[in-house]
Homo-oligomer: A and B are copies of this chain.
């Protein structure tokens, strides 16, 4: 298959050469805003929403990117187009858009004049990100609460999708130490409220209502918004933002997590105790089924097919998981 190419400030370079200078602010400060999207049947999903969130972050961080949102949309399409040969027919696209501030001022001497921000667009098969996840649609995952707390927005705003997130990794390290299978980290904020996973948003279902933490100490996920603003209304489900504590999760009927690559995964346990009857619940199933129908892809089945095909590659149980070696 053809080698993939990555958009780097207007040029398409081989993926293995897509790299960021060691003097870039992104590597110095975690100073990068990014987005990661996916396709369904090759169609980008909510690309505009992703890009608007990206531009909000760029403004607040004062990254002076001159590319407009429409130009960037064009660049995404161009990149995907350029990689057509590098994808299998049943692949979906996972597009990663990174914007860095560029070289720190003190290193401008390294390359001459200040080259300004970097815009990087990569496109690779979604199947990698969801390795081993197929079965999780049936077993569900166990949410494990690490000692690490979410950094609250008053100190570092998670609503800006940035790369300064070492605390996510600490949470994953801590959770890797738990007995049992399929443990994913669920962070509490310093007030003891459920915040988010390390790359996913959390929901419960209680007495028929779909509830998720308010958009404060969390990334406001595009999938999260899709559930709240489109899927639940479509299905006539009541849904709301609500402060959630572990007590609420223990007493919930169902729970699930949302994330771009896998869309929606059942959470069937909290700290090893079953939620509800310990199996994916009916509301969770309805939401996933409706999502699949809306996008014309059987989401779990597609992932299971890839998993079966890639079984020899081993699992990557959470998209951001830390794995002990």
Contacts and interface: CB of A to CB of B under 8 A. Distances in A.
B316 A106 contact: yes
Interface stretch (A73-81, A230-238, A245-253, A282-290): A245-253
B147 A146 contact: yes
Contacts of A164: 30, 163-167
A248 to B, nearest CB: 9
Nearest to A130: B106
A18 to B, nearest CB: 5
Given A21-B19, A60-B247, A146-B147, A174 B27 contact: no
Interface in A94-110: 96, 98, 104-107, 109-110
B20 A247 contact: no
Contacts of A167: 155-156, 164
Contact of A325 (B64, B168, B178, B250): B64
B29 A273 contact: no
Nearest to A64: B325
Nearest to A173: B62
A316 B23 CA distance: 15
Interface in A291-325: 313, 316, 319-325
Contacts of A177: 144, 178-180, 271-272
B165 A323 contact: no
A157 to B, nearest CB: 5
Interface residues of A, number: 92
A68 interface: no
A22 B153 contact: no
A106 B15 CA distance: 15
A51 interface: no
A239 interface: no
Interface in A19-47: 19-23, 25-32
A160 interface: yes
A271 B31 CA distance: 19
Contacts of A169: 25, 29, 31, 61
Contact of A159 (B61, B149, B247): B247
A56 interface: yes
A60 B148 CA distance: 13
Interface string A163-191: 11111111001100111100000001011
Contacts of A5: none
Contacts of A60: 246-247, 250, 273
* A147, A156, A273, A320: residue with the most chain B Cβ atoms closer than 10 Å: A147
Given A22-B18, A163-B28, A105 B247 contact: no
Contact of A18 (B21, B159, B179, B251): B21
B62 A322 contact: yes
Given A29-B166, A107-B124, A147-B188, 4 more contacts: A29-B163, A56-B247, A61-B169, A106-B128
9 contacts: A20-B20, A22-B98, A28-B163, A60-B273, A64-B325, A147-B188, A154-B188, A155-B155, A157-B247
